[in-house]
């Protein structure tokens, strides 16, 4: 019943309102009698069912009918009473259905250097890395090595229907208005984007490569939703392309069903989730495992096994596991090594001492001397070497697409310089310590567009400085803190530092608040923990530190997300400590040099199960030259070491099969191995062959693939 105020707002007079009210009473009484008459048979039906039989509650159809009557009867009465009411506003449109779930993608890349950043856009994406013949998956913003032989997971359950859209508000009452029109139908949800085709695998150098080529097809026999065709074979002609006559096997992987579009109309319900895809009997499964010793493949041999998940040989079909009876082909992948001198930069027995290796785009840069003149050298992918800058260049690092280094001139002394590869020019950034003494800038570390580094503007005391590449501004970020071991984690900078009182602890520059402060006092009090060798694994920093307890200097960890620190390993019990150094990270593992009490060796810590072990046992017999210059390349750690017999030479440790071996005896009468750098799929290092001095050498990888 409308109120007097509502009718007055519509323009009615008080006399019209009184007349209208007198005419409505009989209609209301009639409605009440109709409601009673309509509900009587329903009441009798319910009472009869309750007293006489339980079948009423078992018959879902009768319950639905009664509920509908209870809903429809009041609506019909409302319509009969207010059919002449004002027209309400148009109802809100129904919500569009959620897009169907896009199918997952399988990618193929030539080398570990091409693995992209693992972030939210690549979650659950699988990459096959050709140069190490292994699989990696992006999970929780971290790349993990996987073996695609796990058991099939349980099918995912259908998602619940989305809730109905909220009903639109009733329109304001009006005189003699008609019913409001229905809301327009919601638009269909758009289809998810199709995954991109995987890139062709690169052919192996000086050998036959096993290639895998995939392509997506919308129409594939036996696959109602299309699928991916996987062709595998050996690149017999070495042209890095899998020709038709080189295809050894073809496998079709069917796409799973896509999710249903959201329903049209007023209810705006979400579409049903698509069902998970599953293995088929024509799906190829593979496994990679270390080659057994009897196949005589030096240190890095791997067996690649392939087959169909069809249950052959007593296996279980479509379980996602390659079982022995399902294996179709087994390939032995042997990596061989060829060592050669790239160039004798300082011709003769003199040393060029190449160091500070770094890569920008497809060019490797390094520092070297030629007849007493230092400078920066560049080498392209064809191993063409040229001098690009003549002058002092120390501690050079790549920061974005430029190089920063400690340069020198007669007027300003040793100060920070910058080199632009785009135009081949170099210039002084700032004379931080005026005069010829020099600021001794170093440890250039890029965070965003800002380069942080250590430098002094007065004698003896180093500050944290910052240089913005975007606008060329430079400033003193934090004075008198002696910063070292700079490392970037996420959007923040961490480093070891301490004010003039000598309390050296872990510090942080917060890019969000633009503040710099001590983030963790690992050794509380005036004594220092002296953190050093900082390396990042995801959000965790591993370092060498002394917490002031009975452990001495050992391997410690700091979690940036919760500001916690803990002892990772007590390798050398007691206050002396194991003095970890040369820390490097390989996936979920940390390799480093440490001493257990009598000699320095290479150690490893696996973060997934907190295990620790000694990797090498070389210095225990030689007494000199423990493993150093640790460098990760794929699943192998390369390092310099002296075994007491051949002098200091290049060594390698394979993390897959746990083997350690000497790569090459470059100088049988002694030896020297300097910095090591992975570039363009090969290894470059400073080495000495007892003939041309310490020059630039290269370790070229070749892979031989044979069927066994």
Q: Which residue has the higher pLDDT, 249 or 11?
A: 11
Q: What is the pLDDT of residue 128?
A: 82
* Token reading at 73: 């009867």
User: Per-residue confidence at 575, pLDDT binned at 50, 70, 90?
Assistant: confident
Residues in the chain: 708
Q: Is 325 helix (H, G, I), strand (E, B) or coil?
A: helix
Q: What is the mean pLDDT of residues 132-161?
A: 75
CB 81 within 8 A of CB 31: yes
409 in a structural domain = no
Q: What is the pLDDT of residue 72?
A: 44
- In this structure, what are the phi and psi dihedrals at residue 81, rounded to the nearest 5 degrees? -80, -35
**Is pLDDT above 80 for 184?**
no
Q: Which residue has the higher pLDDT, 393 or 6?
A: 393
pLDDT digits (tens, 9 = 90+) for 300-318: 677 888 888 888 888 888 8
User: Per-residue confidence at 590, pLDDT binned at 50, 70, 90?
Assistant: very high
Q: Which residue has the higher pLDDT, 580 or 107?
A: 580
For the beta carbon of residue 624, count every other beta carbon within 10 angstroms. 14
CB 637 within 8 A of CB 584: yes
Q: What is the mean pLDDT of residues 258-286?
A: 59
What residue has token string 């990696």?
136
Q: What is the mean pLDDT of residues 236-248?
A: 63
Instruction: For residue 93, give Cα distances in angstroms to 87, 167, 171, 180, 266.
Output: 18, 10, 15, 13, 6
Which residue range(s) make up the domain with 61? 4-81
CB 603 within 8 A of CB 591: yes
CA 667 from centroid of its chain's CA atoms: 41
Q: Any idea which of 111-115, 238-242, 315-319, 489-493 has the lowest mean pLDDT?
A: 238-242
pLDDT digits (tens, 9 = 90+) for 70-93: 444 444 433 343 444 455 556 566
24 in a structural domain = yes
Q: How many domains does the chain have?
A: 1
CB 354 within 8 A of CB 696: yes
Q: What is the mean pLDDT of residues 613-621?
A: 84
Q: What is the pLDDT of residue 690?
A: 84
Q: What is the mean pLDDT of residues 373-383?
A: 94
Q: What is the mean pLDDT of residues 547-572?
A: 93
Exposed, middle or buried: residue 83 (CB in 10 Å: 0-12, 13-18, 19+)? exposed
372 in a structural domain = no
**Is pLDDT above 80 for 156?**
no
193 in a structural domain = no
57 in a structural domain = yes
Output the average pLDDT for the chain.
79
22 in a structural domain = yes
Q: What is the mean pLDDT of residues 256-267?
A: 50
563 in a structural domain = no
Which segments within 115-262 are labelled E, that is strand?
126-129, 134-139, 142-146, 210-217, 227-234, 247-254
Q: What is the pLDDT of residue 70?
A: 41
Provide, rounded to the nearest whole percent, the portion of the chain with pLDDT above 70.
70
152-161: long-range contacts, CB 8 A cutoff, minimum separation 24: 152/278, 152/279, 152/318, 152/319, 152/320, 152/321, 153/276, 155/275, 155/276, 155/278, 156/273, 156/275, 156/276, 158/272, 158/273, 158/275, 159/270, 159/272, 159/273, 161/269, 161/270, 161/272
Nearest to 156 by CA among 274, 262, 258: 274
**Is pLDDT above 80 for 400?**
yes
Q: What is the mean pLDDT of residues 608-628?
A: 84
pTM: predicted TM-score of the whole model, two decimal places: 0.59
Q: What is the pLDDT of residue 219?
A: 58
* Token reading at 248: 């050894």
CB 402 within 8 A of CB 421: yes
Q: What is the mean pLDDT of residues 149-160?
A: 68
C-alpha to C-alpha distance for 509 and 75, rounded to whole angstroms: 66
Could you tell me which residues are beta bridge partners of residue 286? 306
202 in a structural domain = no
DSSP 691: S
Nearest to 428 by CA among 444, 439, 412, 440: 412
pLDDT digits (tens, 9 = 90+) for 658-701: 889 899 899 888 889 999 999 998 999 999 988 889 999 999 87
Nearest to 697 by CA among 625, 643, 649: 649
Provide, rounded to the nearest whole percent, the portion of the chain with pLDDT above 90.
40
Q: What is the pLDDT of residue 483?
A: 96
What is the tally of helices (H) and strands (E) in the chain?
5, 41
Q: Is 74 helix (H, G, I), strand (E, B) or coil?
A: helix
The Cα angle at residue 438 between residues 434 and 444, in degrees rounded to 5:
115
pLDDT digits (tens, 9 = 90+) for 13-65: 888 878 777 766 544 444 444 334 443 443 444 344 434 444 433 444 444 33
Q: What is the pLDDT of residue 252?
A: 61
Q: What is the pLDDT of residue 105?
A: 63
C-alpha to C-alpha distance for 324 and 557, rounded to whole angstroms: 42
Instruction: Show Cβ contacts of residue 198 under 8 Å, excluding neighbours closer than 6 positions.
Output: 105, 106, 107, 108, 128, 212, 214
**Is pLDDT above 50 for 205?**
no
C-alpha to C-alpha distance for 86 and 6, rounded to whole angstroms: 12
CB 387 within 8 A of CB 354: no
Rounded to 10 degrees, the C-alpha dihedral 225/231/232/237 comes to -160
Q: What is the pLDDT of residue 377?
A: 97
**Is pLDDT above 50 for 289?**
yes
C-alpha to C-alpha distance for 382 and 343, rounded to whole angstroms: 13
Instruction: Show Cβ contacts of residue 423 under 8 Å, excluding neighbours closer than 6 positions.
Output: none
User: Per-residue confidence at 338, pLDDT binned at 50, 70, 90?
Assistant: confident
Q: Which residue has the higher pLDDT, 119 or 468?
A: 468
* Token reading at 2: 């409308």
């Amino acid at each position: 019943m409308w109120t007097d105020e509502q009718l007055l707002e519509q323009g009615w007079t008080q006399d019209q309102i009184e007349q209208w009210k007198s005419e409505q009473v009989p209609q209301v009484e009639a409605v009440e009698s109709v409601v009673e008459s309509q509900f009587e048979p329903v009441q009798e039906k319910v009472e009869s069912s309750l007293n006489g039989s339980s079948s009423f509650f078992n018959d879902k159809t009768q319950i639905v009918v009664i509920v509908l009557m209870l809903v429809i009867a009041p609506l019909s009465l409302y319509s009969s009473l207010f059919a002449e009411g004002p027209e309400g506003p148009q109802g809100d449109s129904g919500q569009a259905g959620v897009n169907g779930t896009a199918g997952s993608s399988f990618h193929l890349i030539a080398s570990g250097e091409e693995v992209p950043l693992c972030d939210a856009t690549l979650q659950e994406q699988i990459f096959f890395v050709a140069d190490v013949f292994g699989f990696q998956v992006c999970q929780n913003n971290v790349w993990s090595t996987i073996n695609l032989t796990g058991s099939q997971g349980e099918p995912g359950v259908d998602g619940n229907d989305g809730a109905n859209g909220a009903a639109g508000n009733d329109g304001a009452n009006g005189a003699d208005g008609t019913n409001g029109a229905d809301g327009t139908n919601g638009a269909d949800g758009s289809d998810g984007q199709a995954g991109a085709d995987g890139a062709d695998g690169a052919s192996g150098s000086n050998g036959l490569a096993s290639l895998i080529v995939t392509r997506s097809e919308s129409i594939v026999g036996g696959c109602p939703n299309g699928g991916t065709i996987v062709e595998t074979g050996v690149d017999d002609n070495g042209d890095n392309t899998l020709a038709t006559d080189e295809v050894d096997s073809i496998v079709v992987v069917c796409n799973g069903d896509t999710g249903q579009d959201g329903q049209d109309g007023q209810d705006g319900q979400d579409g049903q989730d698509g069902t998970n895809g599953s293995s088929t009997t024509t799906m190829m499964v593979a496994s990679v495992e270390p080659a057994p010793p009897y196949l005589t493949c030096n240190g890095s041999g791997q067996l690649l096994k392939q087959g169909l998940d069809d249950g052959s040989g007593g296996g279980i079909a479509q379980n996602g596991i390659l079982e022995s009876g399902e294996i179709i082909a087994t390939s032995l992948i042997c990596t061989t090594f060829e060592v050669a001198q790239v160039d004798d930069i300082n011709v003769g027995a003199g040393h060029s001492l190449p160091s500070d290796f770094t890569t920008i785009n497809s060019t490797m840069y390094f520092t070297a001397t030629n007849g007493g003149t230092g400078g920066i050298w560049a080498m392209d992918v064809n191993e063409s070497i040229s001098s690009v800058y003549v002058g002092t260049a120390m501690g050079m690092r790549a920061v974005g697409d430029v190089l920063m280094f400690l340069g020198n001139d007669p007027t300003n002394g040793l100060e920070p310089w910058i080199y632009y590869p785009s135009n081949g020019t170099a210039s002084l950034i700032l004379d931080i310590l005026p005069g010829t003494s020099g600021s001794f800038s170093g440890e250039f570390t890029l965070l965003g567009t800002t380069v942080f580094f250590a430098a002094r503007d007065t004698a003896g005391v180093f500050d944290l400085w910052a240089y913005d590449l975007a606008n060329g501004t430079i400033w003193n970020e934090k004075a008198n803190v002696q910063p070292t071991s700079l490392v970037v984690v996420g959007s923040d900078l961490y480093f070891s530092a301490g004010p003039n009182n000598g309390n050296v602890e872990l510090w942080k520059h917060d890019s969000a608040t633009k503040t710099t402060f001590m983030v963790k006092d690992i050794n509380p009090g005036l004594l220092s923990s002296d953190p050093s060798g900082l390396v990042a694994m995801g959000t965790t920093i591993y370092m060498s530190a002394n917490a002031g307890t009975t452990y001495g200097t050992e391997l410690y960890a700091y979690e940036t997300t919760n500001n916690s620190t803990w002892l990772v390993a007590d390798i050398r019990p007691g206050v002396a400590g194991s003095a970890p150094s040369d820390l490097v990270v390989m996936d979920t593992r940390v390799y480093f040099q440490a001493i257990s009490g009598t000699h320095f060796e290479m150690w490893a810590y696996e973060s997934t199960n907190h295990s620790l072990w000694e990797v090498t046992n070389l210095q225990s017999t030689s007494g000199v030259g423990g493993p150093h210059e640790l460098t990760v390349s794929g699943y192998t750690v390369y390092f310099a070491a002296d075994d007491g017999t051949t002098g200091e030479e290049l060594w390698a440790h394979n993390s897959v099969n746990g083997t350690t071996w000497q790569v090459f005896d470059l100088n049988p009468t002694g030896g020297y191995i300097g910095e090591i750098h992975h570039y363009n799929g090969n290894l470059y290092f400073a080495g000495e062959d007892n003939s041309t001095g310490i020059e630039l050498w290269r370790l070229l990888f070749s892979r031989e693939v044979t069927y066994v």
